[in-house]
């Protein structure tokens, strides 16, 4: 472990995700595409039918070690694979990679790997959405301060806060699902993408090769598949990362000792020197990794403009970009699951903080009632602003309201008490929570 250079090798990301990007796994899929091509060539009448079975057998023992040893000699990984298969497959070896270009293999393999990687990401994201939905329902009546600009704004419920994340994460799930349709496509079209080497049978070669791999082909391509799909994928994962970062920031802010409404309850050492610390380390790791994820978007965008029908500038960057973007996103989702499992909600702290303003947070509610009594909104606003600012010392907002001549004539003590009751001013929160969860359920059930 300690001889690894990249932290993603030993610290971050699941073994399930890592296995997709290991050399042996990638070469195994390279071989699968070469077998698909032989199948396509045979079905199109270019290669003998028996070569399909021959290549199935002779390709079984091709290893990544062999391919990359050969690459040291040839300087090209796909050419090395084609040479090795050509040597191993006897008479049928002459049809290996016939008419294909290296990125027929590479881009089709990326499609296969990305499809599996997205399944891992979306499975984790689905679980997070479901856990948050349950929490939103559980806390649909848990009152707390709603904050804007870092200041007390209006009362909300913790369930309402969580339901906003349910909605946002469901939108990311939907984006990934839609993106999947555009990027998980094969590319079998030869040099510059015209299928020239296969003549009039090019579309048949593509059709049957794609059938073998259970993929749809791109409608058209140059020598490489269009890179806007990769950029869309990375951008969508970065959006998801930023949403996870937003939730993590929420936890970090609300876990400040002076707020203390939620915190990570996992037992661990908070600080190497300060025994009392209860640091939000899981949330902070999510926020830290989000920075890396966002930075990768620029690389993906830079890979869209390639010279003419292609150049090689995308190749080296994508070997780094695609595994890393998935492994970082994977770790963030792992951390989010863990964060939700250890998140402690302190309802007493929420209640205490709600009362810090001594009721002034309900100024809007009184203003609305004054307008109903015929007072112009702007005048009601000015009056309530003056009263709210004056709240302090031993007097609370209700007492200040009762001392105002105009207000005390319009409302009784009980009426004012009812108007500034926090429970009476969370609007349609419960209906909105239900609506967000219903939206998420629809997305999760319709988009797989």
The residues annotated with a catalytic role in the active site are 149, 271
Question: 211 — phi, psi (to 5°)?
Answer: -60, -40
CB 213 within 8 A of CB 33: yes
Beta strands 185-186 and 216-217: pairing type?
parallel
Bridge partners of 151, per DSSP, are 148
Distances (CA, A) of 255 to 259, 317, 335, 350, 412: 6, 39, 17, 11, 39
Q: Count H helices, E strands: the chain?
A: 19, 6
Bridge partners of 262, per DSSP, are 345
The tokens of 290 are what?
A: 């989000």
Can you state the angle between helices 102-138 and 228-254, rounded to 10 degrees? 30
Question: 427 — phi, psi (to 5°)?
Answer: 55, -130
Can you state the angle between helices 228-254 and 313-342, rounded to 10 degrees? 30
């Amino acid at each position: 472990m300690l001889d690894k250079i990249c932290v993603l090798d030993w610290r971050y990301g699941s073994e399930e995700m890592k296995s997709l990007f290991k050399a042996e796994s990638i070469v195994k899929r390279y071989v699968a595409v070469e077998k698909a091509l032989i199948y396509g060539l045979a079905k199109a009448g270019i290669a003998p039918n028996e070569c399909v079975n021959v290549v199935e057998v002779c390709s079984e023992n091709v290893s990544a070690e062999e391919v990359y040893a050969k690459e040291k000699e040839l300087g090209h990984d796909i050419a090395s694979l084609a040479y090795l298969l050509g040597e191993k497959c006897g008479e049928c070896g002459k049809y290996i990679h016939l008419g294909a270009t290296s990125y027929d293999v590479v881009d089709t393999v990326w499609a296969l790997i990305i499809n599996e990687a997205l399944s891992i990401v979306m499975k984790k994201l689905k679980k997070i959405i479901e856990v948050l939905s349950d929490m939103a329902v559980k806390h649909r009546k848990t009152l707390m301060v709603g904050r804007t600009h870092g200041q007390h704004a209006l009362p909300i419920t913790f369930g309402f806060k969580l339901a906003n994340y349910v909605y946002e994460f469901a939108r990311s799930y939907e984006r990934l699902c839609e993106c999947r349709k555009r990027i998980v496509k094969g590319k079998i079209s030869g040099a510059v993408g015209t299928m020239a080497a296969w003549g009039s049978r090019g579309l048949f070669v593509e059709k049957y090769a794609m059938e073998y791999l259970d993929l749809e082909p791109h409608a058209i391509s140059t020598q490489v598949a269009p890179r806007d799909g990769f950029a869309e994928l990375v951008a969508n994962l970065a959006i998801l990362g930023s949403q996870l970062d937003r939730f993590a920031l929420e936890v970090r802010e609300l876990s400040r000792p002076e707020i203390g409404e939620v915190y990570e309850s996992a037992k661990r050492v908070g600080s190497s020197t300060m025994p009392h610390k209860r640091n939000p380390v899981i949330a902070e790791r999510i926020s830290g990794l989000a920075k890396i994820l966002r930075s990768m978007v620029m690389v993906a965008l830079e890979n869209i403009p390639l010279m003419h029908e292609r150049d090689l500038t995308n190749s080296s960057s994508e070997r780094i970009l695609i595994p890393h973007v998935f492994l970082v996103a994977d770790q963030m989702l792992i951390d989010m699951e863990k964060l939700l499992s250890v998140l402690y909600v302190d309802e007493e702290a929420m209640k205490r903080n709600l009362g810090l303003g001594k009721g002034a947070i309900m100024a809007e509610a009184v203003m609305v009632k004054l307008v109903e009594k015929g007072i112009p909104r702007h005048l009601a606003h000015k009056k309530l602003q003056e009263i709210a600012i004056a709240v302090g010392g031993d007097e609370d907002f209700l007492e200040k309201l009762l001392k105002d001549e105009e207000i005390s004539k319009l409302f009784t003590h009980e009426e004012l008490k009812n108007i500034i009751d926090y429970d009476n001013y969370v609007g349609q929160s419960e209906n909105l929570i239900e609506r967000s969860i219903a939206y998420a359920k629809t997305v999760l059930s319709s988009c797989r």
